[in-house]
Amino acid sequence: MHKIFIDGSAGTTGLRLENRLRQRGDITLLTLPEQYRKDPDARKEKLNEADVAMLCLPDAAALEAVAMVQNPSTVVIDASTAHRTNPGWAYGFPELGTDYRDNIQQSKRIAVPGCHASGFIALVHPLVKAGILPREALLHCVSVTGYTGGGNAMIASYEAESRTKNDILHIPKQYAMEQTHKHLPEMAAVTGLAAPPAFCPIVADFPRGIELTIPLHRAQVGASLGSIIECFEAAYQNAAAVKVFADIAAMPALACHDTLHISVAGNEERLLLIARLDNLGKGASGAAVQCLNLALGAEETESLIIA
C-alpha cells in the first residue's frame, strides 16, 4: 500500500486529486486535521512520511515544501510552476518520448505541466523534433479556457449568485496581456523554441476545458497539412492520453476527461494547429495522476477518464 500526502488539498487541483485517489485500493491517503493544514511542522512530518508527496500549492509554498522533504525515498510531484524548467526535475509529459517516460518513472522529483502549456507543447514539440518547424520560429498562440483554471477566487466570482447582475462576467476576457504568463518559460524550454510565443489566453464563461490554436502560414513550416498530421500520428501512436484526429470535424469538444486531442485545419497556405483538453484533467489533476501511476509502477491510465 502506497502512502500519498497531498499538500494543498483544499485547492481546486488538490480536491480533485483527493477525490480520484480515495477510490484506489493501492493507496493510503495521509491527511491532516483542518487546524494543522498550514502548520509547518505537521506538514513536514507528513511530507517525509509519504511515499509520494503531491504538491498543489502556489510556487513559493511549493518551494518551501520541497525544502522540507528530507526523506530520500519520498517522491515529490509538484503541480505548481516552480520546477517545470528545472533540469533536475522530470517533466511530467510521458507522451513526448521514452526519455520523458523513463525520467518520470525513475525520478524522485516530477513537475506536472501547465494546462495551456500542455496543448502548446503537444502541438509544437513533435514538429520541432522532426525539423518541420524551425527552432527560430516566432509563433502566435490563442487559448480559450474555462474559469476553473483561475483557482478558487475566480470560480467564486463566476459562480456567485449575484453574478447575473454584472454583465462583464459574461464576456470572454483576455488576460496576461503583458506577455509574462507563467506558462511561457516551459512552452519554449520543452519545445526547444528559441523564444516563447506571443500568447493570448482568454478566459470565458464556461467551467472547464481549453481550446488552444496556433496559426501558421505555410512559409513558416516545411510540410503540408497532411504531412503534419502524419508527424503527429507517428509521434503519438502509442500515447496513453494524447489522441490525433486527421479530420478536425471528428475531434470532440469535451470536458471532464483526461485526454488531450489534437488536429490540424486550414489549407495549403494557412494552417491552424488545434489542441483541446480539460484544464482540470490533462491540464492539472489528470496529468498529476498519470505521473503518480508511472512513479508507482501502476497502470498508466488508472483513475483516468480516457475519451
The active-site residue, picked from 56, 115, 141, 231, is 115
Contact call for residues 183 and 118 (beta carbons, < 8 A): no
DSSP letter at 8? T
Backbone angles phi, psi at 197, to 5 degrees: -75, 160
Are 83 and 104 contacting, i.e. CB atoms less than 8 angstroms apart? no
115 classed as catalytic: yes
Alpha-helical (H) ranges within the chain are: 12-21, 40-49, 59-68, 98-106, 115-129, 151-159, 184-191, 225-235, 286-296
Give CA–CA dist 28/300, Å, rounded: 18
In eight-state DSSP terms, residue 279 is: T
| CA–CA distance, 25 with 307 (Å, rounded to integer) | 23
Catalytic residue set: 115
